[in-house]
Amino acid sequence: MKLAIVDKEGKDTGEKAELKDSIFRIEPNDHAVYLDVKHYMANQRQGTHKTKERGEIRGSTAKIKRQKGTGTARAGSIKSPIMRGGGRAFGPRPRNYDFKLNKKVRQLARKSALSYKAKEKAIIVLEDMKFEEPKTKNLVDLNVALKISDKKSLFVLSEQNKNLYLSSRNLKSTEVITASDINTYKIMRASTLVLFESSLNILDKIFTT
């Protein structure tokens, strides 16, 4: 599969980029995509939620009322969950939501996500360029030139570029990531995938190991 490489003006440079069929043209596996997205979202959870149970509530240990003769249910503690201000029964406790996901499943999920984008013709290959300064306007102009200003885009770099990252922070619809950090969730969330020419080599190495 070959795609035309465009410049920062959005014009065809006359060169073609080779997208490997083993990465961008596989039969997508929806269940693998689901598992990898679920794994990513689970890892984003802090798991620090906590409520106090009856053993952690401050309060008198004296019996509230006599056992018999009141005509109501017996009550022995003001800390009981049925009492106002009492401890909560079976409340949330700190926990880790992470779960094991095999490397081959993750690889399959990311290839499936990339294949979906290729099938939808939602991939742009951009020639490598330098960002001399962190300036949001430069990235806005680039989005306009690529005709993706009204879409949610994901720029994939071969290595970290601080100026480009800082330029994207004020743009809600644009995100910048390195090829080594690419994941299924961010691929599927973006409407358009913008791959820098040099990032293709990194993706080839990642998915062939």
Do 28 and 65 lie in one domain? The reply is no
Helix 103-119 crosses helix 199-207 at what angle (to 10 degrees)? 140
Do 85 and 164 lie in one domain? The reply is no
Do 61 and 163 lie in one domain? The reply is no
Do 65 and 152 lie in one domain? The reply is no
Give how many domains the chain has, as a whole number: 2
Q: What pLDDT score was predicted for residue 104?
A: 95
Q: What pLDDT score was predicted for residue 209?
A: 66
pTM score of the predicted model: 0.84
Phi/psi at 80 (5° precision): -60, 145
Do 60 and 105 lie in one domain? The reply is no
**Residues ≥6 apart with Cβ < 8 Å to 173:** 149, 150, 151, 152, 153
Q: What is the CATH number of the domain that holds 39?
A: 3.40.1370.10
Do 196 and 107 lie in one domain? The reply is yes
Which residues in the chain land under pLDDT 50?
none
Do 42 and 55 lie in one domain? The reply is no
Do 79 and 24 lie in one domain? The reply is no
Long-range contacts of 158-164, Cβ-Cβ distance < 8 Å, separation of 24 or more: 158/128, 158/196, 158/198, 158/199, 158/201, 158/202, 161/131, 162/134, 163/131, 163/132, 163/133, 163/134, 163/135, 164/131, 164/134, 164/139
Do 123 and 105 lie in one domain? The reply is yes
Neighbours of 151 (CB within 10 A): 14
Do 170 and 73 lie in one domain? The reply is no
Do 108 and 134 lie in one domain? The reply is yes
CA angle (145 as vertex; 113, 130 as ends), nearest 5: 80
Answer yes or no: are the C-beta atoms of 1 and 21 closer than 8 Å: yes
Structural domain boundaries enclosing 7: 2-46+98-207
pLDDT digits (tens, 9 = 90+) for 155-199: 999 999 999 999 999 999 999 999 999 999 999 999 999 999 999
Do 82 and 106 lie in one domain? The reply is no
In the chain, the percentage of residues whose pLDDT exceeds 70 is: 100
